[in-house]
């Protein structure tokens, strides 16, 4: 097996941070010595990648009986010891493995000597100083190179379209294998099995190299040298100094200096602009609050603020004893016990598995239309005509 997923070193100009350092080159040196903080989600993602690697090695690589036995042991050990493993991971990763198998079959159909590489170190240092990353899956056949990346998160899907991370992996793979294969087309696929989302971006190699030369190379040179302009934007979300960065603060405070046209009332156009500013300010305020709270917990005083004890609720220390005591009063059970109720669909899927639950509850699950929400125009969902037309008969307050 390859080096443990969680222990991998990251390049200063990592592929996963590319959107940040391409847009804000000095962020690379500014954050290089700040240690990474791993979240539960990141640990779960790492476990999912480990699991998928074992399954893919088993299904895609020819193994002799000894290797097969070793893989079976690794799989058993993973299942028995990994805290994140369960039916939900089993199903989601199987879906991902199915996609990879399908794409590999397509590569084989294009050329019988097509190869698959798993967890391959991809070196894109031709454009980015010391640049390398690890690609989950690389498929190479005559004419086409495909990179497949697993995202295990359940939040907002990350699209492969225009995605700098997967483009850098593609550059690394092309740079290493173009002398063996005549690669013209680059396919880049991101699979989000828990969101049922797969996106693929396709570029001709000339387009990818043009992007690398004109966008990546100059930004990487500045980032490596610790030069360039700080620029705040959506890429700040994953920056280690997002709470304390002055450039981000200046950008947000600039937004507050919005000038209103009419002294008394704002028109809808102005309201639209204010909503954008509000979103930006809310996310910044949350980052600053979290940072300040962490500082205060460590004993680093934030002037004008203090840490106090929050509200607390009474708790029963021994539920079994309390139940006996309540029983002894002769009270009807419904006056001291909660009625049993089903877990939510997400929890049921976690314990039973997505496909299994769909089979067990066939015909018993519906997806009612979601409540209308106001989102920026760039959101991919189709626009509703009006509440009256699209939601006639729905009662959203029920
Ligand atoms: S928070 Fe944003 S602007 Fe500030 S260094 Fe990080 S990426 Fe750049």
7 touches 214 (CB < 8 A): no
CA of 130 to the centre of ligand 1 (A): 22
Q: Where are the alpha helices (DSSP H) in the chain?
A: 18-23, 27-31, 40-60, 65-81, 87-110, 164-177, 205-211, 217-225, 246-256, 268-297, 319-328, 345-352, 354-360, 387-390
Q: Are residues 147 and 278 in the same domain?
A: no
Residue 93 lies inside a defined structural domain of this protein:
yes
Alpha carbon distances (Å) from 381 to 77, 98, 370, 376: 42, 27, 12, 10
| Minimum CA distance residue for ligand 1 atom 7 | 236
Q: Are residues 156 and 268 in the same domain?
A: no
Least Cα distance to 193 among 74, 98, 295, 291 occurs for 98
Last residue of a domain, one of 225, 255, 278: 225
Q: Are residues 112 and 249 in the same domain?
A: no
CA of 273 to the centre of ligand 1 (A): 22
Residue 179 lies inside a defined structural domain of this protein:
yes
Cα separation, 383 vs 118, whole angstroms: 40
User: What's the gap between Cα 246 and its chain centre?
Assistant: 26
Q: Which residues contact 8 (CB under 8 A, 6 or more apart)?
A: 134
Cα separation, 28 vs 129, whole angstroms: 12
Quote the pLDDT of residue 398. 43
The verdict on the CB of residue 288 being under 6 Å from ligand 1 is no
Last residue of a domain, one of 225, 254, 276: 225
Ligand 1 pocket, mutate which of 241, 255, 290 (most atoms under 8 A from CB) = 241
Residue 60 lies inside a defined structural domain of this protein:
yes
Residue 177 lies inside a defined structural domain of this protein:
yes
* pTM as predicted: 0.82
Any idea what the CATH number is for the domain that residue 54 is in? 3.90.320
Pair of tokens at residue 159: 């699209």
Q: Are residues 206 and 246 in the same domain?
A: no
> What residue numbers bound the domain in which 27 lies?
5-225
* Other beta carbons within 10 Å of 272: 13
Quote the pLDDT of residue 393. 57
Cα separation, 254 vs 242, whole angstroms: 17
Q: Are residues 9 and 84 in the same domain?
A: yes
Q: Which residues contact 279 (CB under 8 A, 6 or more apart)?
A: 376
Least Cα distance to 262 among 252, 253, 271 occurs for 271
Ligand 1 pocket, mutate which of 17, 237, 244, 247 (most atoms under 8 A from CB) = 247
137 touches 170 (CB < 8 A): no
Q: Are residues 74 and 189 in the same domain?
A: yes
Q: Are residues 360 and 215 in the same domain?
A: no
CA of 226 to the centre of ligand 1 (A): 13
Last residue of a domain, one of 225, 250, 273: 225
Q: Are residues 212 and 114 in the same domain?
A: yes
Residue 390 lies inside a defined structural domain of this protein:
no
Q: Are residues 150 and 196 in the same domain?
A: yes
Q: Are residues 159 and 272 in the same domain?
A: no
Pair of tokens at residue 143: 């004419």
Cα separation, 190 vs 197, whole angstroms: 8
Residue 311 lies inside a defined structural domain of this protein:
no
Q: Are residues 263 and 349 in the same domain?
A: no
Cα separation, 265 vs 278, whole angstroms: 18
CA of 223 to the centre of ligand 1 (A): 12
CA of 285 to the centre of ligand 1 (A): 15
Cα separation, 346 vs 368, whole angstroms: 16
> In degrees rounded to 5, what are phi and psi of residue 123?
-100, 115
The verdict on the CB of residue 30 being under 6 Å from ligand 1 is yes
Reading the chain (398 residues) residue by residue, the pLDDT tens digits are 555 555 555 689 999 999 999 999 999 999 999 988 778 888 999 999 999 999 999 888 877 888 888 999 999 999 999 999 998 899 999 999 999 999 999 999 988 888 999 999 999 999 999 999 999 999 999 899 999 999 999 888 899 999 999 999 999 999 999 988 889 999 999 999 999 899 999 999 999 999 999 999 999 999 999 999 999 998 999 899 999 999 999 998 887 776 666 667 888 888 888 898 898 899 999 999 999 999 999 999 999 999 999 999 999 999 999 999 999 999 999 999 999 999 999 889 888 888 889 999 999 999 888 888 888 888 878 888 765 555 555 555 54
Residue 137 lies inside a defined structural domain of this protein:
yes
Cα separation, 140 vs 172, whole angstroms: 13
Residue 237 lies inside a defined structural domain of this protein:
no
How many domains does the chain divide into? 3
DSSP letters along 87-134, please?
HHHHHHHHHHHHHHHHHHHHHHHH-TT-EEEEEEEEE-TTTSTT-EEE
Quote the pLDDT of residue 65. 82
The verdict on the CB of residue 49 being under 6 Å from ligand 1 is no
Q: Are residues 212 and 287 in the same domain?
A: no
């Amino acid at each position: 097996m390859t080096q443990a997923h969680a222990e991998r070193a990251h390049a200063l100009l990592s592929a996963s941070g590319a959107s940040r350092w391409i847009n804000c080159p000095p962020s690379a040196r500014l954050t290089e010595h700040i240690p990474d903080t791993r979240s539960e989600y990141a640990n779960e993602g790492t476990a999912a990648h480990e699991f998928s690697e074992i399954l893919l090695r088993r299904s895609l690589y020819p193994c002799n009986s000894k290797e097969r036995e070793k893989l079976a042991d690794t799989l058993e050990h993973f299942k028995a010891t990994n805290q994140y493993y369960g039916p939900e991971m089993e199903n989601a990763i199987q879906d991902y493995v199915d996609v990879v198998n399908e794409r590999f079959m397509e590569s084989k159909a294009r050329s019988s000597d097509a190869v698959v590489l798993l967890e391959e170190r991809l070196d894109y240092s031709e454009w980015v100083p010391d640049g390398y990353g690890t690609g989950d899956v690389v498929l190479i056949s005559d004419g086409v190179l495909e990179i497949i990346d697993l995202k295990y998160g359940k939040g907002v899907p990350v699209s492969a379209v225009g995605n700098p991370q997967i483009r850098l992996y593609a550059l690394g793979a092309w740079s290493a294998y173009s002398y063996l294969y005549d690669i013209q087309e680059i396919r880049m696929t991101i699979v989000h099995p828990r969101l049922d989302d797969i996106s693929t971006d396709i570029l001709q190699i000339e387009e990818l190299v043009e992007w690398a030369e004109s966008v990546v190379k100059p930004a990487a040179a500045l980032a490596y040298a610790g030069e360039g302009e700080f620029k705040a934007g959506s890429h700040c979300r994953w920056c280690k100094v997002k709470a304390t960065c002055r450039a981000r603060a200046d950008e947000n405070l600039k937004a507050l200096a919005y000038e209103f046209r009419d002294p008394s009332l704002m028109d809808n156009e102005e309201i639209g602009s204010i909503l954008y500013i509000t979103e930006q300010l809310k996310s910044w305020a949350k980052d600053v609050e979290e940072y300040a709270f962490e500082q205060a917990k460590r004993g680093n005083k934030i002037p004008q603020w203090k840490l106090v004890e929050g509200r607390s609720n009474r708790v029963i220390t021994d539920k079994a004893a309390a139940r006996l005591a309540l029983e002894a009063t002769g009270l009807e059970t419904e006056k001291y016990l909660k009625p049993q109720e089903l877990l939510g669909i997400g929890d049921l899927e976690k314990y039973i598995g997505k496909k299994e639950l769909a089979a067990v509850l066939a015909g018993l699950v519906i997806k009612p239309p979601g409540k209308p929400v106001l989102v920026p125009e760039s959101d991919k969902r189709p626009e509703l005509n009006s509440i009256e037309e699209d939601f006639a008969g729905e009662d959203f307050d029920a």
